[in-house]
Amino acid sequence: NKNWSSNLALHYTYGRGYYEEYEEDASLIDFGLPNFIADGAQITSSDLVNTSWLDNHFYGTTFSLNYKNSTVDAIVGGGWNRYDGDHFGEVIYTRFARNNDPYEPFYKNNAVKTDFNIYGKATVSITAKFAVYGDLQLRTINYEGDGPTQQVANFPIDANFDFFNPKGGFTYQFNEKSQLYGSVAVAHREPSRSDYEDAFQNEEVAPTEEQLVDYELGWRFNSGKTQVNTNLYFMNYKDQLVLTGEIDEEGAAIRKNSGESYRLGLEVDATIWINDWLSLRPNIAISRNRNKNFVAVFDGIQQNFGDTEISFSPNVVAGNMIRFSPIKNLQLNLLSKYVGEQYMSNLELETSKLDSYFVSDFNVQYVWDTAPLFKEVVFTGLVNNIFGEKYVSNGYFYTYDIENPEMPNGVETLGGAGYYPQATTNFLAGVTLRF
């Protein structure tokens, strides 16, 4: 009826795919192939091509029951989802060795993740201007996995997580133009499969869940020609899963728990209409992102580095868009972005620093709404990095130890970095035909 509504959905997705790798002078035993004798010598390696496969099933249900009237909007719901995936590898070509026919997996690992959650949330209008809301969620996760992967001989996972995630907040409407809001929330995040695999491969302690307590206070203003949104936040973490700067063999970023950490910041964005044909859309985020008493093994001993910058977390990110519409159906947009300097590791090493950069793009769009045969034809053009700025937006950082008798433990830790430089001026043009 007009107050009650419900929803129930079932889903199933089947996924299957692979990628190929060329291995030069690979150990035959590592790929499940026997050594052999050729010309009286034992052959233990060969160039080969292997595939890494995923074959998975994802299925589950979501449900909800909603009640709504003039002062209350409440919902109870939840979901149950299960992922069952096989990870296996096959050798499909060898230069010297004899391969199995049909192909036999040289590793096979099964992983099952079951996720159940149930929640209730409500928004209650206390007065015409003041409303409060609350959200309670219970979530359970079970990980199960066993068998070898390409990187580790055995990959056993049997982990269970039980999360309680409450959230509460308010909104206060001063007038038609101005609104204040605030909230406090608790959230948890479980480690991913790759987090476990990286820990097993490096013979480290298994990762644990991340816990966040988030405090937010914001103000919204809308006067028609000027819109401003501000948000002040403090995110207090326990065992945050932060990027280490390292990447694995597939190029994926590696994460580890960092102990105590926080992110404190202010976000502001606005839309300002100067007149009917000119507008500005600036935004800025200023933040402080710190690990507390960060501990890591360096120069052969475990050291406390004190408070350090969280990796890949610039303190300033800002942008702007200037939109110019000189005639009907024509838009010219100048987009600019600034990203402050950041570290690619949590150790604040100078060799892991990425410099700040400022880039601008230019976009043009024209809508031909009187075109024959079509409802409209849209012409678009985009010139990226119009000033040809040479900059690096991302990269990776790793450490390695060397013997050094001058160090107290005879070990010195050095760092190395890789960078992903971005293209200088480049462009894209397109035409969209709408019927």
Among 213, 209, 169, 206, which Cα is nearest to 187's? 213
Give the Cα separation of 169 and 131 in Å (integer).
9
DSSP 359-382: EEEEEEEEEETT-TTSSEEEEEEE
Give the Cα separation of 126 and 307 in Å (integer).
43
Confidence (pLDDT) at 387? 97
Start-to-end CA span in the chain (Å): 38
Confidence (pLDDT) at 290? 98
DSSP 158-213: EEEEEEEEEEEEEEEE-SSSEEEEEEEEEEEEPPPHHHHHHHHHTT-PPP--EEEE
10 Å Cβ neighbour count for 296? 18
Confidence (pLDDT) at 39? 86
Confidence (pLDDT) at 321? 98
Confidence (pLDDT) at 97? 79
Give the Cα separation of 167 and 188 in Å (integer).
12
φ, ψ of residue 210 to 5 degrees: the values are -100, 135
Would you write out the chain's pLDDT as a tens digit for each of its 435 residues? 999 999 999 999 999 999 999 999 999 999 989 898 888 899 999 999 999 999 999 999 999 999 999 899 999 999 999 999 999 999 999 987 777 778 889 999 999 999 999 999 999 999 999 999 999 999 999 999 889 888 888 888 899 999 999 999 999 999 999 999 999 999 999 999 889 989 988 888 899 999 999 999 999 999 989 999 999 999 999 999 999 999 988 889 999 999 999 999 999 999 999 999 999 999 999 999 999 999 999 998 999 999 999 999 999 999 999 999 999 999 999 999 999 999 999 999 999 999 999 999 999 999 999 999 999 999 999 999 999 999 999 999 999 999 999 998 899 999 999 999 999 999 999 999 999
Confidence (pLDDT) at 156? 86
Confidence (pLDDT) at 149? 87
DSSP 286-298: EEEEEESS-EEEE
Confidence (pLDDT) at 204? 87
- Which 3 state secondary structure label does DSSP give 194? helix
- Kindly state the tokens that stand for 27: 């150990």
Give the Cα separation of 348 and 342 in Å (integer).
9
For the chain, what are the domain ranges?
A: 1-112+147-156
**Cβ within 8 Å of residue 102, ≥6 positions away:** none
- Taking a C-beta distance cutoff of 8 angstroms, is the pair 90, 102 a contact? no
Cis peptide before 102 (omega within 30 of 0): yes
Measure the CA angle with vertex 36, ends 34 and 40; round to 5°: 165
